[in-house]
Protein backbone atom coordinates (compact mmCIF):
# COMPACT_ATOMS: atom_id res chain seq x y z
CA UNK A 1 0.00 0.00 0.00
CA UNK A 2 1.11 3.53 -0.68
CA UNK A 3 0.34 6.47 1.55
CA UNK A 4 -1.52 9.52 0.33
CA UNK A 5 1.69 11.55 0.09
CA UNK A 6 3.05 9.07 -2.48
CA UNK A 7 -0.08 9.44 -4.61
CA UNK A 8 -0.01 13.24 -4.41
CA UNK A 9 3.70 13.50 -5.17
CA UNK A 10 4.48 10.94 -7.86
CA UNK A 11 8.11 10.88 -9.02
CA UNK A 12 8.42 13.22 -12.01
CA UNK A 13 4.66 13.90 -11.89
CA UNK A 14 2.50 16.85 -11.05
CA UNK A 15 3.17 17.86 -7.43
CA UNK A 16 0.08 18.64 -5.39
CA UNK A 17 1.73 18.76 -1.96
CA UNK A 18 -0.16 21.94 -1.01
CA UNK A 19 -3.52 20.14 -1.20
CA UNK A 20 -4.66 19.30 2.38
CA UNK A 21 -5.75 15.71 3.02
CA UNK A 22 -9.18 16.93 4.11
CA UNK A 23 -9.91 18.26 0.61
CA UNK A 24 -9.25 14.90 -1.05
CA UNK A 25 -12.43 13.17 -2.13
CA UNK A 26 -13.41 10.20 0.01
CA UNK A 27 -15.94 7.62 -1.13
CA UNK A 28 -19.46 8.38 0.25
CA UNK A 29 -19.35 5.48 2.76
CA UNK A 30 -16.13 6.85 4.28
CA UNK A 31 -17.50 10.41 4.33
CA UNK A 32 -20.30 9.20 6.63
CA UNK A 33 -17.79 7.65 9.03
CA UNK A 34 -16.83 9.38 12.27
CA UNK A 35 -13.23 8.62 11.29
CA UNK A 36 -13.42 11.05 8.35
CA UNK A 37 -13.38 14.02 10.77
CA UNK A 38 -11.01 12.58 13.38
CA UNK A 39 -7.55 14.01 13.97
CA UNK A 40 -6.18 10.46 14.32
CA UNK A 41 -7.17 9.34 10.82
CA UNK A 42 -4.85 8.96 7.87
CA UNK A 43 -6.09 8.38 4.33
CA UNK A 44 -4.36 5.42 2.69
CA UNK A 45 -4.77 4.50 -0.97
CA UNK A 46 -3.69 1.18 -2.41
CA UNK A 47 -1.87 0.88 -5.70
CA UNK A 48 -5.18 -0.22 -7.23
CA UNK A 49 -7.01 2.88 -5.99
CA UNK A 50 -8.85 1.46 -2.95
CA UNK A 51 -9.20 3.95 -0.09
CA UNK A 52 -8.81 3.10 3.60
CA UNK A 53 -8.91 5.16 6.78
CA UNK A 54 -6.07 4.23 9.11
CA UNK A 55 -6.37 5.04 12.80
CA UNK A 56 -3.00 6.39 13.91
CA UNK A 57 -3.98 5.71 17.53
CA UNK A 58 -3.17 2.07 16.75
CA UNK A 59 0.50 3.03 16.39
CA UNK A 60 0.53 4.05 20.08
CA UNK A 61 -1.99 1.49 21.37
CA UNK A 62 -1.42 -1.86 19.62
CA UNK A 63 -4.73 -3.28 20.92
CA UNK A 64 -6.65 -0.64 18.93
CA UNK A 65 -7.65 -1.59 15.35
CA UNK A 66 -5.38 -0.05 12.73
CA UNK A 67 -8.09 -0.16 10.04
CA UNK A 68 -11.49 -0.18 11.82
CA UNK A 69 -14.46 -1.54 9.85
CA UNK A 70 -16.21 1.37 8.15
CA UNK A 71 -18.35 3.34 8.62
CA UNK A 72 -17.68 4.03 12.30
CA UNK A 73 -20.57 5.65 14.18
CA UNK A 74 -19.14 5.65 17.74
CA UNK A 75 -15.58 5.81 19.04
CA UNK A 76 -14.36 6.42 22.57
CA UNK A 77 -11.12 7.97 21.27
CA UNK A 78 -12.65 10.32 18.69
CA UNK A 79 -11.07 13.78 18.64
CA UNK A 80 -12.36 16.17 16.03
CA UNK A 81 -9.76 17.36 13.54
CA UNK A 82 -8.63 20.95 14.23
CA UNK A 83 -9.68 22.27 10.80
CA UNK A 84 -13.23 20.93 11.24
CA UNK A 85 -13.87 22.02 14.85
CA UNK A 86 -16.90 24.22 15.41
CA UNK A 87 -16.02 27.74 16.60
CA UNK A 88 -16.82 28.37 20.26
CA UNK A 89 -18.65 31.54 21.26
* Domain segments of the chain as ranges: 2-77
Q: Give the pLDDT of residue 44.
A: 93
CA angle 83, 86, 89 (to 5 degrees): 130
Q: Sorting pLDDT into bands at 50, 70 and 90, what band is 67?
A: very high
Query: Which position has the higher pLDDT, 4 or 16?
Result: 4
**Distant-in-sequence contacts of 58-63, Cβ < 8 A, 24+ apart:** none
Q: Residues in the chain, how many?
A: 89
Residue 62 has pLDDT above 50, yes or no: yes
Query: Which position has the higher pLDDT, 84 or 70?
Result: 70
Distance of alpha carbon 87 from alpha carbon 89, whole angstroms = 7
Q: Give the pLDDT of residue 25.
A: 79
Q: Could you tell me which of 45, 44, 31, 13 has the C-alpha nearest to residue 84?
A: 31
Q: pLDDT digit string (tens) for 10-57?
A: 444 433 333 345 446 789 999 999 999 999 999 999 999 899 999 999
Amino acid sequence: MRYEEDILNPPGGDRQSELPQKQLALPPMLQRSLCAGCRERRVVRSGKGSVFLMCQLALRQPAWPKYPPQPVSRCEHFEQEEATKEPTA
